[in-house]
Chains A and B, each alone.
Chain A
Amino acid sequence: MKIQHDSASGHVSGEAEYIDDRLPVAGEVFVDVFYSPVAHARIKSVDLSAASAVRGVLGIWDASALHENLWGSIFVDQPYLADKLVQYAGEAILVIAAESLEAIHLCKKAIRVEFEELKPILSVVEAIAAKAFIGPERTIACGDVGAALASAPNRLKGVIEMSGQDHFYLESQACIAYPREDGQVEVHSSSQHPTEVQHMVAEALGLKMNQVVVVVKRMGGGFGGKESQAGPFAVYAAMVALQLRRAARCVLTKDDDMRITGKRNPFHNFYEVGFDNDGRVLALKAELFSDGGAYADLSTAIMERAMLHLDNAYFIPNFRVSGQVCKTNTAPNTAFRGFGGPKGIVTIENIIEQIAEKLGRDAFDVRQLNVYQKGQQTPYGQEIDDSILPELYDRLRRSCDYDIRLTAALRHNASRSATWRGLSATAVKFGISFTTRHLNQGNALVNVHMDGTVQISSGATEMGQGVNTKLAQIAAEVLGLTMDDVRVMPTSTEKNHNTSATAASSGSDINGRAVEAACLEIRGRLSKVAAAVFARPVEMRGRKVAGAGTAPEIKIDNMPDVEMKFTGGMVASLKGESIALRDLILEAYLNRISLAGYGFYRYPGIFFNKETGQGRPFFYYTNGVACSEVSVDRLTGEVKVLRSDLIMDLGRTQIAGIDRGQVTGAFIQGMGWVTTEQLAYSDKGVLLTFSPSTYKIPNVQDIPREFNIELIENPLNARNVRGSKAVGEPPLMLAISVWTAIRNALFAAGRGPIQLRVPATQEQAALNLFPEARP
């Protein structure tokens, strides 16, 4: 049977259930938050007299309703409800419960809060000046940067600025909390991290973790935005559920979601690079500053990954990077597909473009000159042991006809055409693992039912990436079943405990191995049962005698391991005896042999000392390369992506349709970050682009006119589950080739020094073509 996404039928028929599709139960209430309209202020007074009187309003609560008001995934610094001080526009101050959404609308309009406005910090530059920082500065270094820079034949200095990016998951933050007996609460959340939601709800409400069950059936998209930031909404809903003893539904509108929740961190990266006359990078010194927003959230870990990806695919013998998260009065920024990776990678890829421009060389040549060779070491001390990047670049150069197209682009730019052409290739070498060691663990529960069907539960959450399908496939393969007989159950903290977020592209790796371990445990037991069954006459099988108790029970405790083949629903011994798996499972049940498996997995052999910046933080790397060609209108700056060619090494691809979808999806999402997704704020720090009418994610017309994707088999990656490689995040960073191609087109226009931010919007492009119109 052809494999499909396990929810595909539900998706296309509208029957797949999301949080807000759950039928309301009797007495259920709506929950919403009242948030700050200003970026930085003291709360002088709150007047709820008119708001409380609105018909249908059941309660309005402030921070005092919570047992513990502070939370944080790394540093505990963020209030669930601002009390006395607000630090960003969109910060929640009050929780409202009402019988209807219209009552909530009227209630919010009737709330009177008086603010004493304070001067906000609204950019990285302002934060650096004010020394407003979050966490310590970290460093990664190798070689002697000072000496190498001093002696380098060529040097250049620069800064690259990048804006944030809204996740724009289609399903906004959503949860429903149901009060249960003995002070327990059951929360259904659209979250990538049920354990953290459970932890936050318990802590905020003064409950024990065993009083809180968090269930995640599926998300309508996550992309990192529901890794930490789903938690507060679950706290609000659970608080109301316990206060009112009624089910409580908190589903944000897209506008409010965009105003309240954090985004991809903006970065402001300073660099100085030394290189020889061929373009070989000799030394790189960089200072990375990120905009963490008002609270720490995951920003320090994101910065760490940015620093760990500043080298990207290139060997840099003398290297020093420092990273510092800044505190500003904007929404607390958070994980977003790629984490810090894109911010480090776009920096070095931009540097390579600049080196090529300065030397008058082709940037593809410069990249191939610098690409990591097997055995070289990264600045943080990890040896490149399975790099196939040089081969990928060679292959791309051939497969996309780079040299022919380069000549054509140069000819085009010399003509009187209405557009400029740009052509550029970039790479990604993305480290797989959480850089925080203890997060690299997972567990799975596999239940085999007596009819021969299987239910799997793990800590992995399904957000569209197809992890459930991959887990089902692993179980089906190990047990020799068809996918029809395997079902992946909603993720729940009562089945899988202390799980990590489904993040860092590791969901299928870690949970896949745990599922595999659980299934192997069951298969081991079933193999022994099979051996015992084969040794008995058919009439003595449990199916015939268990009820009567006339035959001795099969005991496997002291049996040695035996090897059986599990395929196509049959179990066979090496001698050729066989039994249907269904029958064997029933035999096991009737002989009181456990049909459940519990699997546990951790990535082996990884360590990273955050203070020295040295170690082996990554289990392996997922690698890829891409070449993009763009046209830029000479008068309007309008950008069109004409063609993108991608080559990715995904080890042994498990389910091609799913992996391919991750590649196309991540690439286009990355393209949005580097082209049209411009967040705009008022001069007082209030977000102006809070809906798709002003915030432009890519549309179907924006995808490359020609889009070639090649997934190559790399049998060398035996260390990961089924020889596969993580795919969720890495292709996003290949979209950086679109940005460098735009830079390349603007360079061709020859209108002076290029000042290009991320995203390279049409306005950015036009102002590089007409620098005289710059403000």
Chain B
Amino acid sequence: MARDFISFYLNGKPVEVGGESVFQPLSSYLRYEQLKTGTKVVCAEGDCGACTVMVSRGGGDYVGVNSCIATVFLLDGASIVTVEGLRERDGSLCEIQSSMVRNFGGQCGFCTPGFVMALTDLFERKPVVTEKQVKNGLTGNLCRCTGYEPIVKAALDVDVRKHKRLRERYPVGAAASVGGPVLIESEGKVFFGAEELSAACQFKRDNPGTVIYSGATDLGVRFNKGHIRPTRFLSLNAVAGLRDCGVQSDEFFLGAKTSLHEFLVLMEKEIPQVAAFLNIFASPQIKNSATVVGNLANASPIADTTPVLMALDAQLDIEGVNGSRVVALRDFYLGYKKLDLAADEIIARVRFSRPSPSAVLGNYKVSQRRDLDISCVNASFHFDISGDVISVARISLGGVAPTTVRLAAVEKALAGKRLSRELVAAARHAIAGAIKPISDARGSSGFRTLMAQNLFEKYCAENFSL
């Protein structure tokens, strides 16, 4: 018998929620049902961080997430701490809060609770922080008043001897799930929290239009903006094994629930070129929630992990009611947001081989703002070099077509050729001929073509001094 409610801890107190309440954004639940109005909502799309709260799952560390795009049903078994939970037991401000006060870290104050939470996330992971870490830790928060300088100062002025980690104050062990599948129905909507992948596939087959909610970092946005109103919701949070990620005999595997953060940690150890790229997109809050597979399944032509994985020749393990199959990522996209995925099928994991020692990887993105901005164009280049001859060339581009693409014709023309300035010039020409980007708010068609060419030239200049 499935549970018809979810349970979690909120600032140390157990809460059970069922019915209509589980289908709303966590921020709405906190503000309007729990009257915890310290959590602010500004953009409702995970871009400004004002709604950041700390969440621990399965006994893991507390990490910051955007509560505006996290649907309540995803919090089953979690432990949540909001800004209201930060004061010390005696009612005084905690050290991070005090430092923000001392350093004039708030002006209008509307973004401030979100910044305090983002700093809490930062100090939860690292006992002492550098200016660079502070800036990386705050990329998910927007402030319009301070110019950030006072906030960075406040972060560097935190007296770590006075700082207590949240996991010492709000034990994470207490938040273990009560277990079993969850089935909640309300006003024509159904949420199924599966424990077995087979049950999930069956639910998906039996309920056409089912949407899998993972990090919800895009679905949550589309819901908030009124673009989608799904009625069948499926979560794989409680399915065993899907969080696993790692490397086995030179093959990397990322389970469907591997977050961008977990992917980053793995790449930092194994493929630093990929890690460096993962660092410049998606805020900490988004990385903590969003999954790699979700980024692929969302099928945006400007998704940032797609070109990287496509150039790595990644494969998808797909599970269905009648068994499993493998699809190459480059063949997975049939058209704009159209996938090679049947009604009962679910992506279980993504796999790719370790690049050869002679491989040279280059990952780039062009966007209006350097950090935390949706790409105008993104690109992944991957040459295997022997001597000065290109043995294998892989070029994957986003933002230039309805899907992320591999430029097969250009790759073929490059394979077996000697690296030279003439070859770069010819390839530039071929790239322009192979793509036909559109113009939109993020860039004109001409600019996108120019960038696709110039990023290729940049890759060659940086790696082969051409």
Chain A residues within CB distance 8 Å of chain B: 2, 4-5, 7-18, 20-21, 23, 105, 109, 167-172, 218-223, 253-255, 418, 463-466, 633, 635-636, 638, 640, 657-658, 660-661, 664-669, 676, 678, 680, 688-689, 691-694, 696-703, 707, 761-763, 766-767, 770, 773-775
> Can you give 25 A-B contacts (C-beta < 8 A)?
A5-B101, A12-B100, A12-B116, A14-B37, A17-B37, A20-B37, A170-B143, A220-B108, A220-B110, A221-B108, A418-B462, A633-B458, A638-B370, A664-B147, A668-B147, A669-B144, A691-B45, A691-B47, A692-B48, A693-B45, A696-B373, A699-B139, A701-B135, A762-B367, A763-B447
State the Cβ distance, B191 to closest chain A Cβ, in Å.
17
Per the bound structure, the CA–CA distance linking A509 and B43 in Å amounts to: 34
Q: Which residues of B contact A691 (CB under 8 A)?
A: 43, 45, 47
Q: Quick check: A699 and B371 within 8 Å, CB to CB? A: yes
Contact B107 A464 (CB under 8 A): yes
Alpha-carbon gap, A221 to B142, bound state (A) = 13
A657 to B103, CA, bound (A): 7
In the complex, whether B461 has a CB less than 8 A from a CB of chain A is: yes
**Interface pair B458/A5, CB less than 8 Å apart:** no
Nearest CB on A from B431, distance (A): 13
Residue of B nearest to A24 (CB): B32
Q: How far is the CA of A466 from the CA of B150 in the complex (A)?
A: 14
Decide: A694 and B374 in contact? CB cutoff 8 A: yes
B433 within 8 A of A: no
Measured in the bound complex, the distance between the Cα atoms of B450 and A766 in whole Å is 9
**B1 in contact (CB, < 8 A):** no
**Cβ–Cβ contact B82 & A4, under 8 A:** no
Which listed residue (A689, A697, A774) contacts B142, Cβ 8 A? Answer: A697
Residues in B with CB closer than 8 Å to A657 are: 103-104, 150
Is the pair B43, A770 in contact by a Cβ cutoff of 8 Å? no
Residues of chain B with a CB closer than 8 A to A9's CB? 93, 97, 101
A668 to B44, CA, bound (A): 24
> For residue A463, which residues in chain B have a CB less than 8 angstroms away from its CB?
108
**B109:A700 contact, CB within 8 angstroms:** no
Is B329's CB within 8 Å of the partner chain A? no
Q: Which residues of A contact B97 (CB under 8 A)?
A: 9, 12-13
Residue of B36, B143, B458 ringed by the most chain A CB atoms within 10 A: B143
Name the one of A21, A636, A693, A702 contacting B451, with C-beta atoms under 8 angstroms.
A636
Most-contacted residue by chain B among A13, A21, A23, A688 (CB, 10 A): A13
- The contact of B148 among A12, A18, A700, by CB within 8 Å, is A700
The interface centre, meaning the residue of A9, A171, A700 with most chain B CB atoms within 10 A of its CB, is A700
Q: Give chain B nearest CB distance to A542 CB in angstroms.
A: 38
Shortest CB-to-CB span from B47 to chain A, Å, is: 4
B369 smallest CB distance to A (angstroms): 4
B229 to chain A minimum Cβ distance, whole angstroms, is 9
Q: Does B145 have its Cβ within 8 Å of any Cβ on chain A?
A: yes
Q: Is the CB of B144 within 8 A of A660?
A: no
Q: Answer yes or no: B12 CB below 8 A from chain A CBs.
A: no
Indicate if the CB atoms of B147 and A4 lie closer than 8 Å: no
Q: Considering the complex, give the chain B residue whose CB is closest to the CB of A662.
A: B107
Least Cβ distance of A720 to chain B in Å? 22
Which 8 pairs across A and B sit closest by C-beta, in order of nearness? A14-B38, A464-B108, A220-B110, A11-B109, A668-B147, A464-B107, A664-B147, A11-B106
Contact across chains for B368 and A14 when beta carbons are under 8 A apart:
no
Name the residue of chain B whose CB is nearest to the CB of A678.
B368
B93 partner residues in chain A, CB cutoff 8 A: 9, 12-13
Give the complex CA separation of A657 and B45 in angstroms: 32
Query: Given contacts A218-B109, A694-B442, A699-B139, is CB(A668)–CB(B366) below 8 Å?
Result: no
Q: How many angstroms between the C-alpha atoms of A168 and B47 in the bound complex? A: 13
Contact of A692 among B45, B84, B87, B442 (CB under 8 A): B45
CB distance from A536 to the nearest CB of B (A): 44
In the complex, whether B138 has a CB less than 8 A from a CB of chain A is yes
When distances are taken between beta carbons in the complex, the residues of chain B under 8 Å from A18 are 40, 110
Additional A-B contacts beyond A13-B97, A23-B35, A218-B108 (16; CB < 8 A): A12-B105, A13-B38, A13-B93, A14-B113, A20-B37, A109-B226, A168-B144, A172-B42, A222-B108, A418-B461, A635-B458, A669-B144, A691-B45, A696-B369, A699-B372, A700-B135
Interchain nearest-CB distance for B137 vs A (Å): 9
State in angstroms the CA–CA spacing of A678 and B450 once bound together. 19
In the assembled complex, B235 has its CB within 8 A of some CB on chain A: no
Nearest CB in chain B: distance from A678 CB, A: 7
Q: Which residue of B82, B144, B451 is within 8 Å of A169 (Cβ)? A: B144
The CA-CA distance from A229 to B268 in the complex, in Å, is 49
Q: Which of chain A's residues has its CB closest to B149's CB?
A: A664
Query: What is the minimal beta-carbon distance from A755 to any residue of chain B, in angstroms?
Result: 14
Known A664-B146, A676-B369; contact A254-B447, beta-carbon cutoff 8 A? no
Q: Scoring B residues 431 to 448 as 1 if CB is less than 8 Å from chain A, else 0, what string do you get?
A: 000000000111110110
Chain A residue contacts of B84, Cβ below 8 A? 13-14
Contact B451 A766 (CB under 8 A): yes
Which one, A658, A676, A703, A773, contacts B147 given CB within 8 A?
A703
Q: Does B449 contact A (CB under 8 A)?
A: yes
List B residues 408-463 near A (Cβ within 8 Å): 440-444, 446-447, 449-451, 454-455, 457-458, 461-462
Distance from A676 Cβ to chain B, minimum over Cβ atoms (Å): 5
In the bound complex, do residue B225 and residue A658 qualify as a contact, i.e. CB atoms below 8 Å apart?
no
Contacts of B113 in A (CB 8 A): 11-14
Q: Is A665 a contact of B146 with CB atoms below 8 Å?
A: yes
Quick check: A773 and B450 within 8 Å, CB to CB? Answer: yes
Cα distance, A238 to B382, chains bound together (Å):
62
- Write the nearest CB–CB distance from B223 to chain A, whole angstroms: 11
Name B225's contact: one of A8, A255, A697 (CB within 8 Å). A255
B152 beta carbon closer than 8 Å to chain A: yes
How far apart are the CA atoms of A762 and B148 in the complex, in Å? 22
Closest residue of chain A to B229 (Cβ to Cβ) is A105
Instruction: Decide yes or no whether B305 CB sits under 8 A from chain A.
Output: no
Complex Cα distance, B368 from A696, in Å, reads 7
Indicate whether B141 reaches chain A with its CB closer than 8 angstroms.
yes
Q: Which residue of B lies closest to A465 (CB)?
A: B107
- Contact (Cβ within 8 A) B107 A665: yes
Question: Do B144 and A223 have beta carbons less than 8 Å apart?
Answer: yes
Contacts of B369 in A (CB 8 A): 676, 696, 698-699, 702
Is B169 in the interface zone, CB < 8 Å from A?
Answer: no
Considering the chains assembled together, what is the distance between the CA atoms of A657 and B443 in angstroms?
39
Taking CB atoms, residues of chain B closer than 8 Å to A220 are: 40, 108-110
Least CB distance, B225 to chain A, in whole angstroms:
7
* A463→B83 CA distance, assembly (Å): 21
Q: Does B111 contact A (CB under 8 A)?
A: yes
Please give, as numbers and ranges, the residues of chain B lying within 8 Å of A221 by CB-CB distance: 108, 110, 144-145
A7 contact set on B, CB distance < 8 A = 106, 109
Q: Which residue of B lies closest to A731 (CB)?
A: B147
Give B291-348 interface residues, CB cut-off 8 Å to A: none
Asked, given contacts A5-B107, A636-B455, A766-B450, whether A697 binds B144 with beta carbons under 8 Å apart, the answer is: yes
Bound complex: CA A664 to CA B105 (Å): 12
Q: Which of B106, B107, B139 contacts A700 (CB 8 A)?
A: B139
With A171-B108, A762-B368 already in contact, the answer to whether A701 and B447 are too (CB < 8 A) is: no
Bound-state CA distance A636–B379 (Å) is: 13
Q: Is the CB of B104 within 8 A of A661?
A: yes
B397 at the interface (CB under 8 A from A): no
Q: CB-CB < 8 A to A172: which residues of B?
A: 42
The answer to whether B454 and A635 have CB atoms under 8 Å apart is yes
**A253-B44, A664-B150, A774-B446 as given contacts; A2 in contact with B368, CB under 8 Å:** no
Produce 1/0 per residue, B113-155, CB < 8 A to A: 1001000000000000000000100110111111111111000
Interchain CB contact under 8 A, A665 and B39: no
Residues of A close to B86: CB separation below 8 A? 13
**In the bound complex, how far is the Cα of B138 from the Cα of A702, in angstroms?**
12
Bound-state Cα–Cα, A770 to B106, Å? 42
A170 x B455 contact (CB < 8 A): no
B43: A residues at CB distance < 8 A: 254, 691-693
B451 to chain A minimum Cβ distance, whole angstroms, is 6
